[in-house]
Structure 1
Amino acid sequence: MQLADLEETAEFARRLAAQLRPGDLVVLTGGLGAGKTTFTQALGAALGVQEPISSPTFVLSRIHRNINEAAADLVHVDAYRTDEEGIESLDLLATAPQSVTVVEWGRGLVERVLAGPDGSWLDLELKPRGSQPAAAGPAFTPAGPGGGETPPAIQTDFSESEEDLLGSPRSAVLRGYGARWADPLRDQ
């Protein structure tokens, strides 16, 4: 699926949230800037969680409580700097039955631990489209006749453009595994 910008990424998350229920696991993959946090923020808002959602990079796992006590909480995990043993130490199995669990950077690491051999989960990969590598060049440019080098220009305008705010186009690849997701997702 092609997503034009971050708003379409958020809309996709809202549609997916309508199909999630307590006990569901979403494994979220994508490089830096792919929209993982935007996706999770929109998912959490659609599920009804109370507090703002930020990346759990330094705490590894955050529980976001739902404003409706009968509805699913959101457990947001960053597995980038851990291993299977570290995932097990977070005791996510204790929160899984009453939560939707989203694990960033968890592909190949959390499925067995959290879903088990007969479990079900969704695997979502977000990939920026059309991203260009940073231009490589010298740290200084020649000054011209007379020699020497001049330092690069200093950037003083850090305001965000509309493109910065909306994000770049991306693609989303959603795969379901196990009995819970045996039928294709509707409207995805």
Structure 2
Amino acid sequence: MAVLFDGEIASSEGMERFGIRLASELRAGDLLVLTGPLGAGKTTLTRGIGAGLDVRGPVASPTFVLARTHPPLGEGGVPLVHVDAYRLGSAAELDDLDIDFDRSVVVVEWGSGFLDGVAESWLDVTIERPVGAGAPDAGASDATDADVTAPDDEPRRVTVVAHGPRWSAVTLP
């Protein structure tokens, strides 16, 4: 286990840019588990990852479909599978989604504790936001996990912890 990043991200735009940078290190078979309260920026980070992987979008919260696959736009690209495990009751229910972990980059929101034994290596991404910061964006596609936006766009603390051998030689800028 190693901390690849521990720092503050100043805005939603910064969170999306961080996702794009993170995507430059990702490849098929990579798994990311995002943890944070409602409105922390999990979907915004995933939107940046999708942009960095150049997948078909828009990347929005998969709350009501549980999992959404975004195919690559270019030849040789990697699909992004975006999962919302919030409404799942167990790891078995996650397994029932029949996710292609080996040939995709998989991002699981609310997935802590659901992925034991799924992967040898993964990234835990924790996003903390100030308590009571901002209000959900009225135009967000999913008000239950809407990202906080201006004028109350508060900085977030993001910690990326790597587990397993896949990440031993990786550093994040």
Q: Give the SS at the match of 2:158.
A: strand
- Partner residue, 2:97: 90
**How many Å apart are 1:69 and its aligned residue?**
3.3
CA distance in 2, matches of 1:169, 1:47: 25
- Partner residue, 1:127: 128
Q: 1:24, 1:100 within 8 Å by CA — same for their partners in 2?
A: yes
User: Rg bigger for which structure?
Assistant: 1
Q: Which runs of 5+ in 2 are unaligned?
A: 1-6, 140-147
Q: CA RMSD in A?
A: 2.2
- Partner residue, 1:64: 70
Q: 1:48, 1:67 within 8 Å by CA — same for their partners in 2?
A: yes
Q: 1:111, 1:121 within 8 Å by CA — same for their partners in 2?
A: no
Could you say if the C-alpha distance between residues 63 and 161 of structure 1 is closer, same or farther in structure 2, counting changes exceeding 3 Å? closer
Q: 2:12, 2:149 within 8 Å by CA — same for their partners in 1?
A: no
Q: 1:10, 1:39 within 8 Å by CA — same for their partners in 2?
A: yes
- Partner residue, 2:105: 100
**How many Å apart are 1:182 and its aligned residue?**
2.1
Percent sequence identity is 43
Q: 1:78, 1:106 within 8 Å by CA — same for their partners in 2?
A: yes
* Structure with greater helix percent: 1
**Equivalent of 2:8 in 2, 26, 31:** 2
**How many Å apart are 1:161 and its aligned residue?**
7.9
Moved over 6 A (4+): 158-161
User: For 1:130-176, what per-residue CA distance to the aligned partner results, in whole angstroms no more than 9, with x for missing partners?
Assistant: x3389xxxxxxxxxxxxxxxxxxxxxxx8998414xx2111001000
- Partner residue, 1:176: 162
Q: 2:30, 2:104 within 8 Å by CA — same for their partners in 1?
A: yes
Amino acid at match of 2:101: A
| TM-score normalised over the length of structure 2 | 0.83
**How many Å apart are 1:71 and its aligned residue?**
1.1
More relative contact order in 1 or in 2 (CA 8 Å, sep 6+)? 2
Q: Give the SS at the match of 2:151.
A: helix
Aligned pairs, how many? 155
| TM-score normalised over the length of structure 1 | 0.76
Q: 2:69, 2:81 within 8 Å by CA — same for their partners in 1?
A: yes
